[in-house]
Structure 1
Amino acid sequence: MAATLNQANTAWVLTSTALVLFMTIPGLSLFYGGLVRSKNVLSVLMQCFSITCLVSILWLAGAYSFIFADGGDWQGFIGGAEKMFVPDMGTASLTGDIPETVYFMFQMTFAIITPALIVGGFAERMKFSSMLWFSALWLILVYTPVCHWLWGGGWLAQLGAKDFAGGIVIHVNAGVAALVAALVMGPRRGFPTTAMPPHNMTMVVTGAGMLWFGWFGFNGGSALTSNGNAGMAIAVTHIAAAAGSLTWMSIEWLRFGKPSVLGIVTGMVAGLGTITPASGFVGPFGGLVIGIIAGTVCFYATQYVKRRLKIDDSLDVFPVHGVGGCIGSILTGVFAADSLGGLGLAGISMQEQVGVQALAVLATAAWSAVFSYLALKVIDMAIGLRVSEDIEVEGLDIGLHEETGYHNL
């Protein structure tokens, strides 16, 4: 029986597409822009904006095809080339019961935000040209195969790995890449002895609010249908965000005597990132517990990475997104069980599902680490990764773009 268009599902995924793009521009842009020093605010906004444009063209040229087209004998590892520049995609083409154009655009917005997340790992010190080359290579070498493994019918999907909206594909993948970038680039000048607080917390909170809002499309839209599954995904997303925020705030309050605005919004992002892989598989109880665990573990991960290991992952991409993605992906195998209010494990045991989830996390982390490192090293040998000392001290806004975010400074 031929598939027929479902207008309600189409309208919901269209809306979700706009919400997910809104997460990058302006949500993530403002969130990251406020977290850096004032002399680098435009550089971060420029990076997020340019990544959006660059990934959009690469998606059309071939990334979409090598994720979602039939890979034939290579299907377990990578898709095929038949959808490069989408020659057969017209207004009547369907993916399931929604237009393929809508599915194409929805998946593109996920591909856009993933390399944009990595910006936080090397903020305030990478050349703009190097950032563009790295984002392009990373999309091709890392995002495309990993996304195919899980969402394009690849080997992890065949094993039964669950990743509803990108805990592995996006958060583990980008978090590990950001950690590798921070290690390869080295710390910002003055780290860790010089204080480098966010220059504009109002901008940070505004961006955080946009991320929370957009995440309803991120997770709820991944159902690809306007039914109770999408509604549950949104409900658990909201619960996890609230629980992560309050948990992070409470720990910080107890440890340091005062709750911070930065802490409560970072806890929100931790809760959102951690619930992402589980959002379509767990119930409200699972969302609550996952949010509490996210706020606790990600808080201590940020302290450990910067204070103990002294790694300058500038905007805490790995301890929040990477660690949160790992936790959420593995806990999906636990809280998806119907005995814990989830939607069930499709006939396998909890232990088996947790094992598959752990394998997916490890495989993705290893692939991302190796190929992120290789991409960075090749770019470093070709054109160099880091701006000069003079530009870093003066600020990337003036040094790279001949502009300033604030003319009165």
Structure 2
Amino acid sequence: MKKILLSLTAFLTLFSLPVLAQGAAAVPAPKVDSGDTAWMIVATALVLLMTIPGLALFYGGLVRRKNILSVLMQCFIITAVISIEWVMVGYSWAFGSSKGALAPFIGGFDWSFLHGIKPSDLSPYFISHSQPTGHIVNGAPEMTGTIPHLVFIMFQCMFAVITPALIIGAFAERIKFKGFLVFTVLWALFVYNPVAHWVWSADGWLFKLGALDFAGGTVVHINAGIAALVTALMLGKRRDYEGHALPPHNIPFVAIGAALLWFGWFGFNAGSGLAADGLAGSAFLVTNLATATAAFVWAILDWFVGKKPTVVGICTGAVGGLVAITPAAGFVDVTGAFAIGIAVALVCYFMVAYVKPKLGYDDALDAFGVHGIGGILGALFTGLFATPFIQSAYSGAFYGNAHQFLIQLAAVGATIAYTAIGTFILFKIVQVTIGVRATEQEEAVGLDETQHAETGYTYFD
């Protein structure tokens, strides 16, 4: 009997080995996916294209001839210096983990200079969700992605680059280069990095609260837009500003820059799912639809109000649509995209054409009126139009989850308050110590010559 039982046990063990092997194979260990990785490298390059040359040409065309090089230089130096800052400490503060009371608000120094991160390491976040959703394991994010960690770092670096670059639009044509550079580095360190940690890090407090920001409505656009308003107010008006927009010197540059922004934004939004999958395709589609809708509505408004549709107008509308769909791109369907596109064109047009002249502040290139207001609207509309049809785990007020709108409202309010206060303090420090405002003579001559000893255009008789 004993021999029979032993034989039966051996038989069952041998029989079960293939089954156990199949079960183990059904849950493979995470590994790099070449398709996801290739897409994310392309998406990263597209986001870089948004700053240089996209934003550089868009803003550069809107200023006067004597200041175009100053805008190009500001965009280029931001790309350089923030890329360095990001590797040194920015990524660690934004996406790393800290301990104790600081953990929900800012990361630590574990990943400074990308310490300990190997080329073979995986990204620390799930790619199948709308936002980074890695779990904290033994004080560090669990590696669960399908792209290399270094690719994720580079992708997020491009977000860190473009955010302070957007602020340029508020203080264009009147800021000293030295003061601008010091303020930008301080702002990236102490405003951008903490807000990114709140929203996108696995232990950030707004992340844990459930705030939805697919690609940067709060982290990028509200953050930059509020900073733009604060700096514009603190710096004061341009010497010849009379309450209305000064004529752009090169509208073709504006159109080319806006087109490059539209193109690059597909990497910005469709790349934020961190995978080449259906969610990326959906984000791609709604990004284009909201942008097209906003551009068309703005052109129609121009036509009715100003009697002629303008190139600058349709370009501004397109950028507004890109801004507003950013936080919602991974959550809303076609209905939400249409609603966001229509709403942002109406609201931002009203802000730019009526509110700014009425209040008299000199937001030179409408960084607050488009990015700040568009980001706020997009974040709130995410709380209304997020649909489980796109991602089953997420829904907004119009799909039975009114609480999500309240969470979005809290995230918007917290970002506005922190950014406004932080920007004011940092700008004041730079203003008092090394100065930020160009002199009247420097402003009259132009920043190209006075700050960079160059001119954008040379004329021959």
TM range (shorter): over 0.9
Matches within 5 A, 1:75-90: 75-90=103-118
Segments of 5+ residues of structure 1 without an aligned counterpart are: none
Deviates more, 1:319-328 or 1:70-79: 70-79
Q: Which residue of 1 aligns with 2:422?
A: 371
Query: Would the aligned equivalents of 2:395 and 2:404 in 1 still touch at CA under 8 Å?
Result: no
In the alignment, the residues of structure 2 paired with residue 316 and residue 347 of structure 1 have an alpha-carbon distance, to the nearest angstrom, of: 32
Q: Which residue of 2 aligns with 1:49?
A: 76
In the alignment, the residues of structure 2 paired with residue 327 and residue 68 of structure 1 have an alpha-carbon distance, to the nearest angstrom, of: 26
| Aligned pair partner of 1:126 in 175, 180, 185 | 175
Task: Provide TM-score, normalisation by structure 1.
Answer: 0.97
| Aligned pair partner of 2:65 in 6, 23, 38 | 38
1:107 aligns to 2:156 (yes or no): yes
Deviates more, 1:250-259 or 1:168-177: 250-259
In the alignment, the residues of structure 2 paired with residue 350 and residue 315 of structure 1 have an alpha-carbon distance, to the nearest angstrom, of: 37
Secondary structure, in 3 states, of the residue corresponding to 1:328? Answer: helix
1:257 aligns to 2:284 (yes or no): no
How much does 1:193 deviate? 5.7
Q: Which amino acid aligns with 2:387?
A: A
Secondary structure, in 3 states, of the residue corresponding to 1:278? Answer: coil
Instruction: Rate the CA distance shift 1:195–1:267 in 2: closer, same or farther, 3 A.
Output: closer
User: How many residues align structurally?
Assistant: 407
1:391 aligns to 2:442 (yes or no): yes
How much does 1:102 deviate? 0.4
Larger Rg belongs to: 2
Q: Which residue of 1 aligns with 2:391?
A: 343
In the alignment, the residues of structure 1 paired with residue 260 and residue 339 of structure 2 have an alpha-carbon distance, to the nearest angstrom, of: 24
Instruction: Rate the CA distance shift 1:355–1:195 in 2: closer, same or farther, 3 A.
Output: closer
In the alignment, the residues of structure 1 paired with residue 223 and residue 394 of structure 2 have an alpha-carbon distance, to the nearest angstrom, of: 26
| Aligned pair partner of 1:244 in 275, 282, 294 | 294
Instruction: Rate the CA distance shift 1:67–1:173 in 2: closer, same or farther, 3 A.
Output: same
| Aligned pair partner of 1:228 in 263, 267, 278 | 278
Q: Which amino acid aligns with 1:146?
A: V
Q: Which residue of 2 aligns with 1:117?
A: 166
Secondary structure, in 3 states, of the residue corresponding to 1:98? Answer: coil
Instruction: Rate the CA distance shift 1:45–1:168 in 2: closer, same or farther, 3 A.
Output: same
Matches within 5 A, 1:177-326: 177-192=227-242, 196-326=246-376
In the alignment, the residues of structure 1 paired with residue 343 and residue 246 of structure 2 have an alpha-carbon distance, to the nearest angstrom, of: 28
How much does 1:351 deviate? 1.5
Deviates more, 1:273-282 or 1:66-75: 66-75
Q: Which amino acid aligns with 2:173?
A: E
How much does 1:70 deviate? 1.5
In the alignment, the residues of structure 1 paired with residue 201 and residue 358 of structure 2 have an alpha-carbon distance, to the nearest angstrom, of: 39
Q: Which residue of 2 aligns with 1:156?
A: 206
How much does 1:346 deviate? 3.7
Identity of aligned residues (%): 49
How much does 1:305 deviate? 3.7
Give the RMSD, CA atoms, in angstroms.
1.3
Task: Provide TM-score, normalisation by structure 2.
Answer: 0.86
Q: Which residue of 1 aligns with 2:412?
A: 361
Q: Which amino acid aligns with 1:343?
A: Q
Instruction: Rate the CA distance shift 1:291–1:195 in 2: closer, same or farther, 3 A.
Output: closer
| Aligned pair partner of 1:138 in 187, 199, 209 | 187
In the alignment, the residues of structure 2 paired with residue 320 and residue 206 of structure 1 have an alpha-carbon distance, to the nearest angstrom, of: 18
Q: Which amino acid aligns with 1:124?
A: E
Q: Which amino acid aligns with 2:360?
A: K
How much does 1:350 deviate? 2.6
In the alignment, the residues of structure 2 paired with residue 97 and residue 292 of structure 1 have an alpha-carbon distance, to the nearest angstrom, of: 36
Segments of 5+ residues of structure 2 without an aligned counterpart are: 1-27, 124-144
Q: Which amino acid aligns with 2:459?
A: N
